[in-house]
Structures are given as C-alpha cells and as structure tokens.
Chain A
Amino acid sequence: MQRNHNHPNQFAMVWIPGINELPMSVMISRESGKAAFTVRKHGHASTGLFNVKVGQQIGVRGPYGNSFDLKQGKLLLVGGGTGLVPMMRLLTFLKPDDDVTLLIGAKSKDEVFFEDLANSLLDKNSHQVIVSTDDGTYGERGYVTEVVKKLVSEIRFNAVYTCGPEIMMYKTVQLAHSKGLFVQASLERMMKCGVGICGSCCVGEDLVCRDGTIFDGPHLLSNKEFGHFHRNKAGILENY
C-alpha cells in the first residue's frame, strides 16, 4: 500500500478498536523514519482516539491518497484547524531557497497550535508565520482569508497550498486563482472505505480518497459541489 511515501500529504485510515475508524492526515514525527497523527477531540471517534492510553493498540491502514505538487520559490501555505497537519509535513519538503509564508487560521487564541513548530521547521528558510484569529484574541483579527487576499495582491507566489475548513479553502482557491497563481487544496469528506469503492467521499465526479485528497484549483472551481456541499452518512447533499 506504500504509494508516494516520499511526498507530502496522504492519509491513513486509523482504527480505534471498538469505537470507529477515521481518515487522518499523516503528521511528522520527531523520530526519524516514523510518522504520527494529530488528534483533536471533536466527535465520538476522535474523542475515542484521544482517550487511547499509552500501550493500547490502534490499527492503521494506508497510506492512501495523492500528494501536493512541490513548487519552488515563493510559497504560501494556508492552514486552519487540523488542516495544519499536512502543512507541517509540507514544510519538511522545502528547498533551502524557498521563501515561505505560512498562515494559521483559528477561531481564537486557545485554538492556535503549531506556531512554534512551524517556526522551528522554517528555521533555515526565509519565512514568516502569520496567525489570525476570528475573534482577534491572538495575531491578526478576522478570517485568515482576509490575509490571503492582501498577500496575493502584493506578492506573486509560485504556489499556494491550503488545507482546513472548506469555506476557507474555497475562498483561498478563488483568490489565488483570480491572480493566476498555482493553487492546490486538500479536501476532507466523510470516508468509509478510503480506497475508492464505497463512494461516500464523492464531490461531483471526484472521489476524494482516490482522486485526491489534493486537487488543483481550476479543477475544484469547475466542480459545482466544492465550497458548497458535502454528503452525510446516507449520501445526501448538505450545505456548508
């Protein structure tokens, strides 16, 4: 199952025995040659994973999914919530000459994470890490996409990468694409099989688990469901 194991992003299906199985982005580990997962207590399954004790076993199948196309030069990374996980991993693939701007979006101060980690990963690069919180309790006040709007009108980025809440990605892709910039987003959908059989994760004609999770901006903007709808467990479209 090892596909593209040297490339950023990709996900695995993580089994919490007796509770559920979740698609999770692969996170970097401090230990060489190992991977990790970042878990955020949210629903039944992620809370179950959060409560797993040291020594207790979980199951992992994968890795699945594709990878970001690595460009060089001026790069803009936009992450929100656990969407920052693939952004952190992407930072480990940079070239020394890359000039990186990382935007971290959060609702408020207590939901800001990975800022220090990002700064240390970017230690050898020309870089800036900008945090924005919706309520202004830390960093810039307002939606992170307001910062995206300002930056893409000032700087000609060689690539824009984004992962996080869909509306954030939708606006980021629109803004970057409107300036003619190369942009990719990593989508999240309800997943059951993770291998392109069950169809749960379809977005229009695309299967997030098999065609993605990363898609090019122009392709996404031509998909009428991106930024507007997702499917529930029964496969019924629901608005974001």
Chain B
Amino acid sequence: MATCIGKIQLERPVMLASGILGISLDVFNRLYRAGAGAVVTKSLSTEPWDGYPNPTIFSVNGGGWINAVGLSNPGAPNFAKIIEPNKDVPIIVSLVGSIPQDFEMMIKEFKNCKITAYELNLSCPHVAKVGLEVGDDPELVKKIVSTVKNSTNVPVIAKVGLGTTHYLTTVSAAIDSGIDAITAINTVRAMAIDVETQRPILSNKFGGLSGTPIKHIALRCVYEISSKYDIPIIGCGGISTWEDAVEFILAGSSAIQLGSAIGENWIHVFNDINKGVLEYMERKNYSTLEEMRGLAKKS
C-alpha cells in the first residue's frame, strides 16, 4: 500500500484533502489512526481569516457539496504552533497567498515543524486575489513556485483547478519552475439558488462544487496531466470508494485525496478504501501500487 509521490513517501495512498477538518493536531492524529496516509491542512494565510458568514455549505441533491467557507484559518504563525508537537502524522501544509513573499514568509513560520510537503493552493474558486485567480496567471505561478522552491527543501505540490486559464497551462508553469508534484483538481466554481426565496443560498453566492458530481472531470484531468507530463500526480475530486481510488491510480495518480466523502460516510471512508484497494491488488496480483499506476493509458 506504500506509495511514492516523487520524493514524498507515504505508507498509505489516501490523504485528507485540504479544507476539510484540518485545524487541530488531535483531529490529525485521529484521522491518521483512521487510515489516512497523510493529512493536508486547511489552506493557511499570512494572517488569520474568519471566512464567510453562513450559509457556507450546500448539500447537493443526489450527492456532493457546494462550499464557500472562505478559507477560514488561524493564520500560518498560529497554525505552526498547533502542529509543532507533531511526531507521527505525515502533515502536508497547504498555503494560500497572493504574492511570492506571502509564501516565503509563511514557510519560515514552519521551520520547527515536521512537515511532509507543502501544497500551494492555486485553485480555490471562491476567494478573490488568491487561489484560482493566482493559478490563472501562469507568470505569477512561476514566480511563486520558484520562490517557494528556493525557500525550502521540503517537497512542494501545486494544487490546480478549473479556472479561466487552461489548467494544463498552470501545470506546465509549475513544472517549469521546479514543482515536485501536482494535486488535481480543486472544487469547481458553482452556485445554488433557493426557489422559494429566489436568492443564492451561499452567503458568498458562489462556491466550489465537490464530491461525486466532479469525480469524472477530475479523473479526466489526472489522465490528461499524466499523459502529457512526467510529474507525480495526486488525484482529488469526488473519491468516495475503493473503486474510485483505483480508477484514479489507473489514470496515473500516485496517491489520492478525499474530503466530501467524509461528510457522507464519515472518517471510516479511509480504512474502507484502504481495505478495498488492498483486496483489489491481491485479486489482480499486484504487489505495489506502482505496478498499476497509469495502466489505463496503455490502450
């Protein structure tokens, strides 16, 4: 079940995606015990952010969520203190910012923390001047990735999404600047309207669609990236079963992330997927995940 995402080594391939549950080390330890191979933190900013007023989440009829939590987080300096005592959990720190200096400053805060990787949020679809607005600017992406790579020896992942610039352009810019891996994809910009009161439900009007409705879009993106570039990929988007996880690995993922499935099946989902993937490997006679990675591209 062990996997390598480039230089990142994990005992198990299923991670907690960014934005989900990630503000206490106690919760991270619990998720690790529940079978997560790594946890990605909420995206941290240079200062604490309150996020948007409620409603911040909408439950999609038939499965999935639209959220506009608004990147609420305690800020990188406070968060570094929270995870400083960490010993056991592979923690991937997600960072969000507008300019290279934001990222540089935040990385300094984590100098005393045991961190497995950084994940740059270049794709949050519902907060201005960060996330997707950064990811849509390939020149800015290059500057940020170069700055971050020069600031740390810890592996750096870029999380991309579907913005106004083709996501493969963002991927290419990140690779040119030395990125170690790509997480694909983030939530997809969406909205929900209440027909009785005739207004958008989320306080921010727009949010990010996640869960089952975006699974096959995410899968297509992973397949496209792995077909075009030689870069380790972490698949993310609507994964809730072991079959989903296997699909993403067959499309070229080295690991996967999930979040929405926790809202539906709670944290048992990690071990359910681990168990299912292991049984699949036994049935198909694979001794490593690496042997099955990208196999869907052969035909």
Across-interface contacts of B19 in A (CB, < 8 A): 198
- Nearest residue (CB) in B for A192 is B56
Q: How many residues of A contact B (CB 8 A)?
A: 31
Q: Is B206 an interface residue (CB 8 A)?
A: no
Interface residues of B (CB under 8 A from A): 19-24, 26-27, 29-30, 42, 48-51, 53-57, 59, 65, 67, 69, 72-75, 78, 194, 196-197, 199, 201, 203, 259-260, 262-263, 266
Top 10 A-B pairs, shortest CB-CB distance: A21-B54, A205-B26, A234-B48, A233-B50, A199-B21, A235-B23, A21-B55, A193-B57, A205-B30, A17-B197
Q: Is A33 an interface residue (CB 8 A)?
A: no
Q: How far is the CB of B10 from chain A (nearest CB, A)?
A: 21
In this complex, the member of A18, A192, A210 whose beta carbon has the largest number of chain B beta carbons within 10 angstroms is A192
Across-interface contacts of A235 in B (CB, < 8 A): 23, 42, 48, 72-74
Q: How far is the CB of B74 from chain A (nearest CB, A)?
A: 5
In the complex, what distance in Å separates the CA atom of A200 from the CA atom of B51?
Answer: 11
Contact of A196 among B26, B48, B56, B262 (CB under 8 A): B262
Known contacts A59-B201, A196-B266, A197-B259; A207 and B21 CB within 8 A of each other: yes
Across-interface contacts of B203 in A (CB, < 8 A): 20
Across-interface contacts of A45 in B (CB, < 8 A): 54
Q: Pick 21 A–B contacts, CB within 8 A, sort by A.
A: A13-B54, A20-B55, A192-B51, A193-B57, A195-B59, A196-B266, A197-B20, A197-B57, A197-B67, A197-B259, A198-B21, A198-B67, A199-B22, A199-B23, A200-B72, A202-B26, A205-B24, A205-B26, A234-B72, A234-B73, A235-B74
- Nearest residue (CB) in A for B75 is A234
In the complex, what distance in Å separates the CA atom of A15 from the CA atom of B192?
Answer: 14
Across-interface contacts of A198 in B (CB, < 8 A): 19-21, 56-57, 67, 69, 72
Across-interface contacts of A194 in B (CB, < 8 A): 57
Q: Is A236 an interface residue (CB 8 A)?
A: yes
In the complex, what distance in Å separates the CA atom of A204 from the CA atom of B20?
Answer: 15
Across-interface contacts of B74 in A (CB, < 8 A): 234-236
Contact B73 A20 (CB under 8 A): no
- Nearest residue (CB) in A for B47 is A234
Contact of B54 among A22, A202, A207, A234 (CB under 8 A): A22
Within 8 A of B (CB), among A89-113: none
Contact A192 B57 (CB under 8 A): yes
Across-interface contacts of B27 in A (CB, < 8 A): 199, 202, 205, 207
In the complex, what distance in Å separates the CA atom of A109 from the CA atom of B53?
Answer: 34
- Nearest residue (CB) in B for A59 is B194
Contact B51 A20 (CB under 8 A): no
